[in-house]
Amino acid sequence: MSIKDNITKIRDNVYEISGSYNKKMRATGRLYLDEESFENLEIGAMEQIANVACLPGVQKFAIGLPDIHFGYGFPIGGVAAFNERNGVVSPGGVGFDINCGVRLIRTNLTEEDIADKLDELVEKLFKNIPSGVGSKGKIRLDEDEINDVLDYGAKWAVENDYGWEEDLEYLEENGCIKEADSTKVSDKAKKRGIPQLGSLGSGNHFLEIQKVEDIYDSEVAEVFGLKEGMIVIMIHSGSRGCGHQVCSDYLRLMDKAYKNHNIDIPDRQLACAPLDTHEAQDYLKAMYAAANYAWANRQMMTHWIRETFEEVMGKSAKEMDMGIVYDVAHNIAKKEVHKLNGRDTTLIVHRKGATRAFGPGREEVPEKYREVGQPVLIPGTMGTASYVLHGTDVAMEETFGSTAHGAGRVLSRTQAKKDYKGEDIEKSLNEKGIKIKATSPNVIAEEAPEAYKDVDSVVRVSDETGIAKLVAKVSPLAVTKG
């Protein structure tokens, strides 16, 4: 019997996978999809949700968000939470690009203010913020400094004059998970990380100059400091080779750990360890260190974006009010307290290709935003809109305070390069008034907008199901890619 025969629609845009599909399931599988996306979803991604629901200590729901697609072990666009007492942690539930995330920087500029200088801004941003596979940053760290980056994240960057003290308040975890431990990160991972700090990377990572096109909730937009017509800058980047190496190192360790601890898993890619073991604790400390690297990475790029705008616009970044709206992590597993059966329970929440969407009142949300819930940043694809939403009580109740992270791929990069030509896409974007600067036409081809789900649909489902609510739409004016 197909897994689809065991899925029930429980309300508009919400489906559940029955435990009768696999008697080893310890939680219900839940999918947040509209009908078209449900019909088009890979069977493999549905089965991955059911597999995750079989892991020890999993709580309430194994969740597929509106941008779910097939991934390594866990689906991308997936969330699962594990009880601290009898649960597990799995690197496959975080992914290779640890703390890949998005940051939004506001300005008090308008499209008219930058119209004559947009070409110069794009050229200088492309030059000042290195991008591409294996790209190297503008500074060189020594071994002690990379340890400080891994242990202190964005705090290290700000203390070394790469940013403003107030920046830290508007980063998830204030840009530093205190439990990080650089001694748990391999020398190979550190060597990969040393030359790459402050660089964008490749793949779907980007830097965009955008304008706020529409406001859907004026009260919340005002709290976030967003106005229609405002120029903003969005960064999408992660932990580069350092995070990838941390994941690879600990996947090998977990492949032995789940056997040593006699854990029955339906897929070897779900390799994991009980949370009270040294394997789990070492992975968490190393993964947090890689997450800190990613926050430092985005902080350094923020500094160079401000410097670039200062050089081109002839004003200081302070004069242009270039503060951070927020910074969210996509690939991470963190200790959080959530209500289960009316009781506060400490859980390790895995978000893989998912955005934290904490609702009003949570102490983790910056005080300025606490009455409305945290900003949720959902980037679109090259040439399409991105969105700002806010976290909700519904998300706290249903998805461990989580929602989608982006459009979600429907074509592999290899297939996209076969189907599309970078030159044609660049021409199409230019005709829409969007400037693009990339390391090669192939980079543009593999990120063709048609290779992704419709981000408008992903955001609409998040909004209609209440797991995040729309605040503003931002549209690209220029994009740089690695």
Secondary structure of residue 399 in the 3-state scheme: coil
> Is residue 33 annotated as involved in ligand binding?
no
Q: Which of 477, 479, 385 is nearest to 437 (CA)?
A: 479
Q: Is 275 annotated as a binding residue?
A: no
Q: Do the annotations mark residue 22 as ligand-binding? A: no
CA dist., res. 129 & res. 437, Å (int): 12
Token match 């898993």: residue? 265
Burial class (CB in 10 A: 0-12, 13-18, 19+), 445: buried
Is position 405 annotated as part of the catalytic site? yes
**HSE, side-chain direction, 13 A CA sphere, residue 322:** 23
What is the Cα–Cα distance from 448 to 267, expressed in whole angstroms?
31
Question: Is 244 annotated among the ligand-binding residues?
Answer: no
CA-to-CA distance for 167 and 158, rounded, in angstroms? 8
407 is in an annotated binding site: yes
Is 278 a known ligand-binding residue? Answer: no
36-58 core/surface letters (b: 16 or more CB in 10 A; e: else): ebbeebeeebbbbbbbbbbbbbb
Q: Is 97 annotated as a binding residue?
A: yes
**77 a known binding residue?**
no
Sign of torsion over alpha carbons 387, 392, 398, 401: positive
Tell me: is residue 345 an annotated ligand-binding position: no
- The reply, when asked if residue 301 is annotated as ligand binding, is no
Element housing 111 (H / E):
helix 111-114
DSSP symbols for 411-471: S-HHHHHHH--HHHHHHHHHHTT-EEEES-HHHHHHT-GGGB--HHHHHHHHHHHTSSEEE
CB 390 within 8 A of CB 365: no
Contact between 389 and 217 under an 8 Å Cβ cutoff? The reply is no
Indicate the burial class of 252 (C-beta count within 10 angstroms; 0-12, 13-18, 19 or more).
exposed
Residue 261 assigned ligand-binding role: no
Q: Can you say how many angstroms the Cα of residue 464 is from the centroid of all Cα atoms in its chain?
A: 21
Hey, how many other C-beta atoms are within 10 angstroms of the C-beta on 229? 12
Q: Annotated binding residue at 438?
A: no
208 annotated as ligand-binding = yes
Q: Which of 106, 7, 11 is nearest to 47 (CA)?
A: 7
Q: Establish whether 338 is an annotated binding residue.
A: no
Using the 8-state DSSP alphabet, how is residue 75 labeled? P
406 is in an annotated binding site: yes
- Is 120 labeled as ligand-binding? no
Selected catalytic residue, list 244, 303, 390, 405: 405
Annotated binding site: 97, 204-208, 236, 330-331, 379-382, 386, 405-408, 481
Annotated binding site for Mn(2+): 97, 205, 236, 330
Annotated binding site for GMP: 204-208, 330-331, 379-382, 386, 405-408, 481
Q: What residues are annotated to the active site? A: 405
